[in-house]
Amino acid sequence: MQQSRVDPANVVESLAYTLLEVLNATRDLYKTLRIKEKRDHETLERSKGYPPSPVSDHLDDDAAAGNASIVLDKAAVKREFDHGMDTLGPPFAVGDGTSEC
């Protein structure tokens, strides 16, 4: 699947690409927010005079688990789209008649 080759008439294919792009953006946003959360936590701890805590390690573990979950969801969407294309061929990409305008 490559975004530049998506025909807007192919409803299912367009939807699959859109979902993949959303999952990419979600992964990037999640990563950015987790980095900010960790930085904010460390800044708060330092401002209170506490030494670095192992909570930061837990934040890293949680971030890795969340990122892995998003990557697995993306892989599942791609796998299902590819399965539909393999099983039904090009008509799968178009969708059914009720989805056409």
Q: What is the pLDDT along the chain (101 residues), one digit of tens a residue?
A: 445 577 777 889 999 999 999 999 999 999 899 889 888 988 888 898 887 766 666 666 777 777 788 888 889 999 999 999 999 888 888 887 544 44
Query: Is 17 a domain residue?
Result: yes
Query: Is 59 a domain residue?
Result: yes
Distance of alpha carbon 86 from alpha carbon 88, whole angstroms: 6
Give me the amino acid identity at 73. Answer: D
Query: Is 34 a domain residue?
Result: yes
Assessment of whether the complete model's pTM goes beyond 0.85: no
Query: Is 101 a domain residue?
Result: no
User: Helices in the chain by DSSP H: which ranges?
Assistant: 11-47, 55-88, 90-94
Query: Is 44 a domain residue?
Result: yes
Distance of alpha carbon 7 from alpha carbon 28, whole angstroms: 26
Domain total of the chain = 1
Token representation of residue 67: 């990122």
Query: Is 81 a domain residue?
Result: yes
Query: Is 8 within 8 Å of 37 (Cβ atoms)?
Result: no
Query: Is 35 a domain residue?
Result: yes
Distance of alpha carbon 30 from alpha carbon 24, whole angstroms: 10
Q: How far apart are the first and last CA of the chain?
A: 24
Query: Is 98 a domain residue?
Result: no
Say whether 4 sits in a helix, a strand or coil.
Answer: helix
Domain that holds residue 37: 7-92
Centre a 10 Å sphere on the Cβ of residue 66 and count the other Cβ atoms it contains: 16
